[in-house]
Amino acid sequence: MTDFDIKEINALKLKLRIIEKGTLVGWVLLILSIYYDWDDPYPGLLIVAIIALYIVKGRFRKRLKQKEYLAKIVEERTIELRIQRDQVLTESKKLSEALDALAKAQDELVRKEKLATVGQLTQGLVDRILNPINYINNFAGLSTKLIKDLKENITEEQTVMSKENYADSIEILDMINNNLQKINEHGCNTVRIVKAMEELLKDRHGDITTTDITNLCKVNADVIRKTFAEDIEKNRIQIEIESPEESAMAEINIEQMNKVMLSLLKNSIYALLKKLQKQEFEPVINIHVEKRLNGTIFLTIRDNGIGIEDNIKNKIFEPFFTTKPTAEAAGMGLYLCREVILNHQGAILVKSEKDNFTEFMITIPIYQKNNNE
């Protein structure tokens, strides 16, 4: 019912009350006029006035009933429209959720198709590249040993050679040895890249186990402390773990999540060491675990190292993209981290400021839907 209808109905009710009081006053006066035998024309006028009030009262009652009837119809129709609106909003919400689910399913399908395509190409390349590269590396190593033997032989014959020939021979052998070392170095880098490509072919599904994420973080932090013990002790790198008092249990593939943790922690150590080369500061890696009410585990790994430049933030999860030298990385670490998290129906985001910090934020569901269906 609108405010206008309510005001009009209330106004009619007020008028009816006034008329009823006026009618009552008219009857009282009429009775008094008869009792006290008032002279004409008072009794007649009072009778006319009372009759007029009854007529007006009847009209107002009729109007009031009409207004109340119309207001009731309008209110009922308004309620129906509200119910229909709520139904439309509910259906719209369901449709929106269905569209979101469809979009996610399509994105997942596209991602898997791309991964399958890359896997097919990689499978063909791995065998064709890895074996020749292994031969190159092996023969480079053997040739280096042969050059060492040849150099010793020439040194033994130094007395029968002119100084110029001896110096030229040694210089040539050193140059060949350096070239072979570069061949071996680049060969090893190529093997690393091919091995990283081979990692794409591995199945990262299955073997789901309910695990305490906090304990997982502690185990990987201990592994990092042992692996980089010298650098951590020398530079006083602090590794902090913040976790809830209760267990943060989630269904995960332990092996794959260990790879994610180690990869991100190694990146943090690298970022801290790079920054320490330029300036002195207190290097810290913070691991935060949080169990949220929406049925997810929220995990962050933050370091106050060199950070990430804004113009490459959207590229860091691409395969074979890296800011490290080729000899140190193949550019597959963050890409595989993202794949593992997506396979766990989760999400991974990065927040960073150049020369200040980098923070990777991971969200994974406590229960894997496919596992429970």
Query: Tens digit of pLDDT for each residue in 304-336?
Result: 999 999 888 888 888 777 777 665 666 778 888
Predicted pLDDT of residue 314: 86
pLDDT at 370 > cutoff 70: no
The per-residue b/e assignment along 264-288, b for 16 or more CB within 10 angstroms, e otherwise, is bbbbbbbbbbebbeeeeeebbbbbb
Sheet of strand 238-242: strand arrangement: 238-242, 284-291, 296-303, 357-365, 347-353
Among 20-24, 27-31, 175-179, 260-264, top mean pLDDT goes to 260-264
What's the average model confidence in pLDDT over 277-284?
93
Residue 267 scores a pLDDT above 90: yes
What is the chain's mean pLDDT, rounded? 84
Task: Kindly list the distances between the CA atom of residue 213 and the CA atoms of 54, 240, 366, in Å, as whole numbers in the listed order.
Answer: 85, 15, 10
pLDDT at 277: 92
pLDDT at 291 over 70: yes
Query: Could you tell me how many helices (H) and strands (E) the chain has, helices first?
Result: 8, 7
For the stretch 70-122, pLDDT in tens is 888 888 888 888 898 889 998 888 888 888 888 877 877 776 676 666 666 66
Residue 276: per-residue pLDDT? 94
CA 83 to CA 147: how far, in whole Å?
90
State how far Cα 69 lies from the chain centre: 55
Decide if 221 contacts 287 (C-beta within 8 A).
yes
- Neighbour count for residue 304 (Cβ, 10 Å): 21
The confidence score (pLDDT) of residue 271 equals: 93
Alpha-carbon distance 54 to 30, whole Å? Answer: 15
In the numeric block, the tokens 């996610």 are attached to 104
